[in-house]
């Protein structure tokens, strides 16, 4: 499985970049569709999405660079090579949230309503974006056997793609992608309930993704580390805690008008 889609001399278009772009486009489309349910203008939500994406990408890259600082100090030009990989979703979430806090305060919007609107789009974006890791042959688990992968009833192309340097690896990227899709389906089904309140979808997202990422990260062999701790697991715990807090706080918020 090649990591590049097109190679024209020095010009290379990477599958990683294509999958991230597709995830962003579809995710933004869903957010715009969601915003219509709450009478938020298309122009207002488009403006918000544009800058949120910029801050998200910057945050995702800075987060990755900070936890690989030794390498990037010696290879500073590589910091800008985001098309080759190296975007940390937790950094993207932090960067996006920082801007959303500013934007919602400036425009007098309820930040929990906005994050509720963004959650479905974020999940589908993450689900698609993870396939960029597949083409880059990263974000996988430990060495396994072809028999193990076959027993999971995975598509043949995934099994073939998990053969790296004559070894087969556990496709943790696929597990996370599937986990995000399941979370999206749960949100779509449960948000129609009359008891759902503003902020609870955001809380669910944080808990759902936090639990899934914590478990899946335990299998990954390329984790960003904080001394001996996998930083993604640490952030996931924080996400889960914040998620439960938001769900409790949301009990005082108004219900959705479905």
Mean pLDDT over each residue of the chain, to the nearest integer: 91
Residue 67: other Cβ atoms inside 10 A: 18
Two structure tokens written together for 106: 């400036």
What per-residue confidence (pLDDT) applies to 208?
A: 98
Q: Name 258's Cβ contacts closer than 8 Å, sequence gap at least 6.
A: 191, 192, 193, 194, 196
What per-residue confidence (pLDDT) applies to 158?
A: 96
What per-residue confidence (pLDDT) applies to 244?
A: 96
Confidence of residue 163 (pLDDT cuts 50, 70, 90): very high
What per-residue confidence (pLDDT) applies to 201?
A: 95
Confidence of residue 66 (pLDDT cuts 50, 70, 90): very high
| pLDDT higher than threshold 60 for residue 258 | no
| pLDDT higher than threshold 60 for residue 63 | yes
| pLDDT higher than threshold 80 for residue 196 | yes
pLDDT digits (tens, 9 = 90+) for 220-253: 998 988 888 999 999 999 999 999 999 999 888 7
pLDDT digits (tens, 9 = 90+) for 126-156: 999 999 999 999 999 999 999 999 999 999 9
| pLDDT higher than threshold 70 for residue 28 | yes
The H-assigned helical ranges of the chain are 15-36, 42-66, 69-74, 89-106, 111-136, 146-151, 156-161, 172-190, 200-217, 231-249
Confidence of residue 257 (pLDDT cuts 50, 70, 90): low
């Amino acid at each position: 499985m090649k990591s590049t889609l097109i190679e024209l001399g020095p010009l290379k278009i990477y599958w990683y970049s294509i999958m991230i772009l597709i995830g962003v486009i579809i995710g933004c489309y869903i957010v715009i569709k969601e915003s219509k349910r709450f009478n938020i203008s298309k122009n207002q939500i488009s403006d918000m999405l544009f800058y949120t994406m910029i801050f998200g990408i910057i945050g995702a890259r800075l987060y990755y660079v900070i936890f690989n600082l030794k390498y990037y100090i010696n290879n500073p030009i590589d910091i800008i090579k985001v098309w080759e990989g190296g975007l940390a979703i937790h950094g993207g979430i932090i960067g996006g949230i920082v801007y959303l806090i500013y934007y919602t305060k400036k425009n007098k919007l309820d930040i929990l309503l906005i994050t509720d609107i963004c959650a479905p789009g974020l999940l589908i974006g993450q689900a698609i974006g993870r396939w960029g890791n597949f083409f880059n042959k990263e974000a996988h688990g430990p060495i396994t056997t072809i028999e193990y992968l076959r027993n999971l009833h995975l598509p043949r192309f995934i099994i073939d793609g998990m053969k790296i340097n004559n070894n087969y690896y556990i496709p943790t990227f696929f597990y996370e992608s599937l986990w995000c899709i399941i979370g999206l389906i749960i949100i779509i089904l449960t948000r129609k309930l009359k008891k759902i309140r503003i902020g609870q979808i955001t809380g669910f997202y944080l808990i759902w993704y936090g639990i899934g990422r914590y478990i899946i990260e335990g299998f990954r062999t390329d984790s960003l580390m904080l001394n001996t701790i996998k930083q993604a697991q640490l952030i996931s715990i924080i996400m889960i805690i914040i998620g439960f807090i938001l769900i409790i706080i949301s009990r005082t918020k108004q219900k959705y008008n479905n």
